[in-house]
């Protein structure tokens, strides 16, 4: 496959039983997408669109966003590119658009609570750019960050339909992408069935999910031992999400840091994840780890981990 002047290969990997597990990359810029392709990523599992808003003083307009997204879609022509809608707030403040972090940024206005929540006009331009890029060469998918109610999700889906109708009316080229939600709040774990019934896919954000399940901030070293996805409650939340997704005929990925730890690949495959998305550097190791995994041992490891009572017990199983 040719892209941006570089020849890239991406051989799909499968378990010994022939189950394909997509190994994708998390990227924030078109340049990072090229680096990910060069490392053999099967696609982009998380495009962090807020990076398009960094290092500037005003938001990028619709065309600028469309150009950047299109570049990523060129690089991954024919492959899946999952674009996350703006995830501003919490650990990702963009001061010129979000001037008030509130007393408790992680529990306040962030993700979809910020856009469309507080800034519907920003969201509209953003989604217009995404739907236009979806008409390009990649299989574009879009997902929403920090959704925690069905009402929020239904409103987001209505908004996407309305924007598609608007583009249609204007005669602008667009496509309706696959639609998904991040599962990164305990609320979304308990609503995973309802979400999966409405969506094509779910993507588990373990950085935030761990923070909210364990009530331990992701950026506070003093509670780092609690902010560990190997704690059994986090593993059980993941297992519950995977099961609900599959019951609703949705595919389910993981795009938190956990997905990029090669020591955890067998456990994650055993838990039933269809896709793992990570920083590009770990793609080759995780791909090598997935290839030829014994499905029964992986399932047995996951079952044992789900019965474990402490993270130390889980760690011992993995070691
Ligand atoms: C996550 O929360 O796990 C995630 C992938 O999103 P971010 O790290 O950008 O919040
Ligand atoms: Mg997150």
For 206-257, how does the pLDDT look when each residue is reduced to its tens digit (9 = 90+)? Answer: 999 999 999 999 999 999 999 999 999 999 999 999 999 999 999 999 999 9
Dig out the tokens for 13 from the structure.
């990997």
User: pTM of this prediction?
Assistant: 0.96
pLDDT of residue 9: 59
From the alpha carbon of 184, which atom of ligand 1 is closest?
Answer: 2
Report d(CA 160, CA 46) in Å as an integer.
Answer: 19
Specify the higher pLDDT residue, 175 or 8: 175
Write the residue with the smallest CA distance to atom 8 of ligand 1.
207
Whether 133 has a pLDDT exceeding 70, the answer reads yes
From the alpha carbon of 26, which atom of ligand 1 is closest?
Answer: 5
Taking residues 46-66, report their average pLDDT. Answer: 95
Taking residues 16-44, report their average pLDDT. Answer: 97
In tens, the pLDDT along 86-115 reads 999 888 888 888 778 889 999 999 999 999
* Cβ–ligand 1 contact at 256 (below 6 Å): yes
Taking residues 120-142, report their average pLDDT. Answer: 98
pLDDT of residue 90: 86
Residues serving a catalytic function are: 255
Q: Quickly state the pLDDT bin for 41 (edges 50, 70, 90).
A: very high
pLDDT of residue 301: 98
Taking residues 278-298, report their average pLDDT. Answer: 97
CA distances for 144 relative to 78, 113, 303, angstroms: 23, 10, 30
What's CA 151's distance to the chain center, in Å?
A: 21
* Cβ–ligand 1 contact at 48 (below 6 Å): yes
Residue 168 CA to ligand 1 center (angstroms) comes to 33
Would you say the ipTM is above 0.95? Answer: yes
pLDDT of residue 1: 36
CA distances for 270 relative to 96, 165, 203, 239, angstroms: 44, 41, 17, 10
Write the residue with the smallest CA distance to atom 4 of ligand 1.
205
Q: Quickly state the pLDDT bin for 29 (edges 50, 70, 90).
A: very high
Residue 205 CA to ligand 2 center (angstroms) comes to 5
What share of the chain in percent tops pLDDT 90?
A: 92
* 240 labeled part of a ligand binding site: no
Substitution site in 93, 255, 259 for ligand 1 pocket (most atoms within 8 Å of beta carbon):
255
Whether 270 has a pLDDT exceeding 80, the answer reads yes
CA torsion sign for 274, 247, 301, 268 is positive
pLDDT of residue 3: 42
From the alpha carbon of 258, which atom of ligand 1 is closest?
Answer: 3
**In whole numbers, what is the pLDDT of the chain averaged over residues?**
95
* 207 labeled part of a ligand binding site: yes
Report d(CA 98, CA 110) in Å as an integer.
Answer: 9
* Cβ–ligand 1 contact at 255 (below 6 Å): yes
* 208 labeled part of a ligand binding site: yes
């Amino acid at each position: 496959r040719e892209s941006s002047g570089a020849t890239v290969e991406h051989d799909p990997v499968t378990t010994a039983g022939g189950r394909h597990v997509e190994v994708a990359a998390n990227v924030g810029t078109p340049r990072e997408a090229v680096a990910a392709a060069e490392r053999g990523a099967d696609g982009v599992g998380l495009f962090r669109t807020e990076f398009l808003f960094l290092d500037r003083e005003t938001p990028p307009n619709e065309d600028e966003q469309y150009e950047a997204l299109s570049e990523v879609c060129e690089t991954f022509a024919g492959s899946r590119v999952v674009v996350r809608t703006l995830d501003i707030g919490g650990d990702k403040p963009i001061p010129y658009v979000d001037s008030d972090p509130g007393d408790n940024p992680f529990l306040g206005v962030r993700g979809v609570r910020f856009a469309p929540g507080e800034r519907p006009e920003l969201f509209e331009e953003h989604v217009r750019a995404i739907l236009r890029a979806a008409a390009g060469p990649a299989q574009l998918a879009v997902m929403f960050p920090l959704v925690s109610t069905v009402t929020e999700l239904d409103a987001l889906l209505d908004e996407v339909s309305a924007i598609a109708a608007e583009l249609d009316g204007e005669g602008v080229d667009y496509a309706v992408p696959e639609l998904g939600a991040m599962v990164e709040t305990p609320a979304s774990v308990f609503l995973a069935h309802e979400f999966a019934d409405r969506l094509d896919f779910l993507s588990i954000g373990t950085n935030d999910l761990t923070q909210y399940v364990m009530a331990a901030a992701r950026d506070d070293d003093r509670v780092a031992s609690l902010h560990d996805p190997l704690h059994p409650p986090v593993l059980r939340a993941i297992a519950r999400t995977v099961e609900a997704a599959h019951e609703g005929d949705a595919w389910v990925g993981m795009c938190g840091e956990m997905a990029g730890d090669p020591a955890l690949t067998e456990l994650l495959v055993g838990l039933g994840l269809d896709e793992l998305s990570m920083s590009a550097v770990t793609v080759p190791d995780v791909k090598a780890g997935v290839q030829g995994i014994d499905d029964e041992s992986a399932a047995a490891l996951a079952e044992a981990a789900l019965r474990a009572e402490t993270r130390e017990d889980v760690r011992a199983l993995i070691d």
